[in-house]
Amino acid sequence: MTVRRPRLNTLRIGPAGQDTVVLVHGIATDNLTSYYFTVAPQLAAAGHDVVMYDQRGHGRSERPATGYRLEDFTDDLAALLDGMDTAGPVHLVGNSFGGTVAFDYALRHPDRIASLLAVESEPPTAAWAAKMSRLLAGSANRLRDGQALPWIERTYGRHAARLVSRARPLLQGTTLAADIAASRIPAEERWRTLDLPVLAVYGSTSDLADTAPWLESLLPDCRTHRVAGHGHSVLVGDPRTVGTLMLDWIGTGHRHRREGIRV
């Protein structure tokens, strides 16, 4: 049986034929614009072929009613890259949930990756799936309260309220939360075989920053970096620092992958 993949909105900038950098965004309130207005122009100006896309259910991509397990998102990324003309293995960048998708893709297709950079993210585990499902279901329930959006606007500003409002059809009209809980989770031992360079970037005040030592002990070739004074939204909060880290890492990771050098 052939399963039809949803139409994905994609955007590609920068010179063709150069190192390709693929940017994968976060979940629910996110889309490709979080890269387009932050680090993507910096990457393109440095001579990289930059690919962004809206994940299924997000931005201008199609929003099916079902089909939101982690492997569905990973298969979308695989199909996207299968249909692209690239010069070789790509540098994969993922923010938040996008980083988890990137980790899952890299584990399944390590030969297609030159390096992996995860921003405020973690590999998929059973604990991750349970946590994400709980957060997504809770958000959907809270949005049924007519006072939720006004409170978000008063507390976090109009832009945040607008993002949450746009995420409501995905949160309330699809099986997203239940599907994330039912995702296929790789065994922990498999991560110890991931033979490619990984950089994980965290905001220093983020809860996820505490996972850095575990990640370094889990992956064979992993570095972590904390950006001072920022939390989970470090990509948007300090795009210049994150962009510089990406540019440095892409060059270093590519060389390590090509020459077999360990960091």
Flag whether 220 is in a domain: yes
Full domain range(s) for residue 239: 10-122+185-259
Residue 262 has pLDDT above 50, yes or no: no
Tokens at 42, concatenated: 């910096």
Domain assignment of residue 224, yes or no: yes
Of 206, 212, 240, 233, nearest in space to 224 by CA: 212
**101: in domain:** yes
pLDDT digits (tens, 9 = 90+) for 9-66: 999 999 987 789 999 999 999 999 999 999 999 999 999 999 999 999 999 999 999 9
The answer as to whether 177 is a domain residue is no
Distances (CA, A) of 23 to 95, 126, 223: 8, 25, 19
- Here the CATH number for the domain that contains residue 215 is 3.40.50.1820
Predicted pLDDT at 261: 38
What is the total count of domains within the chain? 1
Asked whether residue 147 is assigned to any structural domain, the reply reads: no
Q: What is the pTM of this model?
A: 0.94
45: Cβ contacts below 8 Å, ≥ 6 apart: 14
3-state secondary structure of 198: strand
Distance CA 202, CA 119 (A): 6
User: Is residue 196 situated within a structural domain?
Assistant: yes
Q: Is residue 153 part of a domain?
A: no
From CA 120, how far away is CA 126, in angstroms rounded? 18
pLDDT in tens, 65-102: 999 999 999 999 999 999 988 878 999 999 999 999 99
Question: Does residue 235 fall inside a structural domain?
Answer: yes
H/E segment holding residue 115: strand 113-119
pLDDT mean across residues, the chain: 92
pLDDT for 51: 97
CA-based torsion, 151, 155, 158, 159: positive or negative: negative
